[in-house]
Structure 1
Amino acid sequence: MLKVKHLKKNYASFSLDCSLEVKPGYVTGLIGQNGAGKSTTFKAILGLIQCDGGSIEIFGQSALNEEDKQLLGVVLSDSGFSGYLTISDIIPILENLYKRFDKSFFLRMVNQFELPKNKKIKEFSTGMKAKLKIIVAMSHQAQLLILDEPTAGLDVIARDELLDMMRDYMAKDDQRAILISSHISSDLETLCDDVYMIHNGQVIMHEDTDVLLSEYALLKVDDQQFEQLDKAYILKYKKESYGYSCLTHQKQYYRENYPNIVLENSHIDDVMTMMIRGEKS
């Protein structure tokens, strides 16, 4: 569906070198801190900025024709319709932009999420604007959604509603796919099939979400336990007041061989913090 190999973009104070793949039927997450390179990657994929190297394939092609572009649904964090338009105003725009625009689906979703059709978009709340962006991206039967920080700035309820929209979108066609970025990594635990972690323009981890949540763990050990610990399966460690916290991707090994140490199941936030702030063993 989408293959990115060593995508490079150089700025004065930042360099991107990113590789990732999005498979049909997959929701793939790109997580990282603000400024890690998520938006730069998305803009390069979409051809909005010129790349300095690497390759991008979408639907098996390096250059998209107009017909293939119709199969993309895009939400960018810094783009949207003019605030002076209403939903009623943008319907004819969408009908002209997309050959497969589904007006009945669009209006059904607008009604479901109680978005006012004749109110100017600039008067919408942050959550209403975010919902409208997602509805537009889904309204023309796109095969691949590219969503850059679609839940940023939203409260918990609004974020949950948007995630449900994405699940419904994927459930209707097993050949669809989503690439979604977020710095709120906990949002992606129940949505994504796999996750790429990016830091300072580099992908530092790629893992299936199920594996990350079931096999990764944090070990909490004192200084003596740390010295005696087999570090063969320790990815990163960090000094703490009680001793050390250690990130492992082989939870069962330490559970069986070190029954007296504290072992906690990790979440994506824990893994990201350790991978970025921890030291390599």
Structure 2
Amino acid sequence: MVKVENLIKNYGDFKLEVSLEIPDGAVTGIVGKNGAGKSTTIKSILGLIKPDGGHVTANGKEASKLTGKDKQEIGVALSDSGFSSFLTVKDITAILKKMYPSFNEDLFRKNCSSQGLPENKQIKDFSTGMKAKLRVLVAMSHNAKLLIMDEPTAGLDVEARNEILDLLREYLLEDENRSILITSHISSDLEGLCDDIYLIHDGKIVLHEDTDAILGNYGILKVSEEAYEKLDKSYILSTKKDHFGYSCFTNEKQFYAENNPNIVIENSGIDDLILMMTGGN
């Protein structure tokens, strides 16, 4: 679906240099700390900012050469953009109807109604959750093959986040070839949705892994200084000095469980991945 090869973007002292791929039918997540380059990557893919180097292709076609019709197959929800806050859902429906030949008005209005978005209320009077839902529903309204979501659940409570994630899951079920690229600071959202994860740090991809592997194979070893000195470090990705000794991040926790029965091994998730791979040694 989408392939990013050696994408480069310079902002003074910051340099983005990433490569990634979003296959057909996959949900790919990008994680990292604030300022790591997640939003810059997405905006470069969308052509909202001009890269200084590299290539971005969608369905085998250079992104810079995508036609209006090609772009209609991409649905976008960015956290810092959207329609004028003085418009209503009814106004937006009329706009989308003109913009996208494939716009499904009946489904859009039905979804807005089911999500509690009134047709005649101005967006400025919507809650944060309502605005987030509207951005996602707009992106899904014109039968796009690829959805690009930048922090779609930021600032929302658990119930609102789950409702948005359910919308995305339903969208994927309708067509197995649809794909999603999503960024989020909320690891549980990605763990339950994404097929694979890219970790970006200081403008570079430092790890790419299947989500199942992160949740199943990765872990944190808690060892004393003495045990650390004797530890086989073949599968240690990062270490962090703690008051008791060391925390060691590994992608082969089973290996250490079998060969070091006396050490403490904790399961890890995406939050641990970010902390240990961007803050350890």
TM-score, normalised on structure 1? 0.98
Q: 1:200 aligns with which of 182, 199, 202?
A: 202
Structure 1 gap segments, 5+ residues each: none
Q: CA RMSD in A?
A: 0.7
**What's the counterpart of residue 4 of structure 1?**
4
Give 1:172 shift: 1.0
Give 1:34 shift: 1.3
Distance 2:93 2:225 in 1: 64
Distance 1:67 1:89 in 2: 23
TM-score, normalised on structure 2? 0.98
**What's the counterpart of residue 264 of structure 1?**
266
Query: Is the partner of 2:171 in helix, strand or coil?
Result: helix
**What's the counterpart of residue 73 of structure 2?**
71
Give 1:252 shift: 1.1
User: Pairwise mapping of residues 1-281 of structure 1 onto structure 2 (< 5 A)?
Assistant: 1-62=1-62, 63-279=65-281
Please list the CA deviations of residues 220-241 of structure 1 after superposition, one character each: whole Å capped at 9, or x if unmatched.
0111111110001100000011
Runs of 4+ in 1 over 4 A off after TM superposition: none
Task: Determine if contact 2:27/2:179 at 8 Å carries over to the other structure.
Answer: yes
Structure 2 gap segments, 5+ residues each: none
Give 1:76 shift: 1.1
Distance 1:54 1:87 in 2: 39
- One-letter amino acid matched to 1:81: F
Please list the CA deviations of residues 162-204 of structure 1 after superposition, one character each: whole Å capped at 9, or x if unmatched.
1111111111111100000112223200100000000111111
Task: Determine if contact 2:33/2:274 at 8 Å carries over to the other structure.
Answer: no
- One-letter amino acid matched to 2:252: Q
Distance 1:271 1:105 in 2: 38
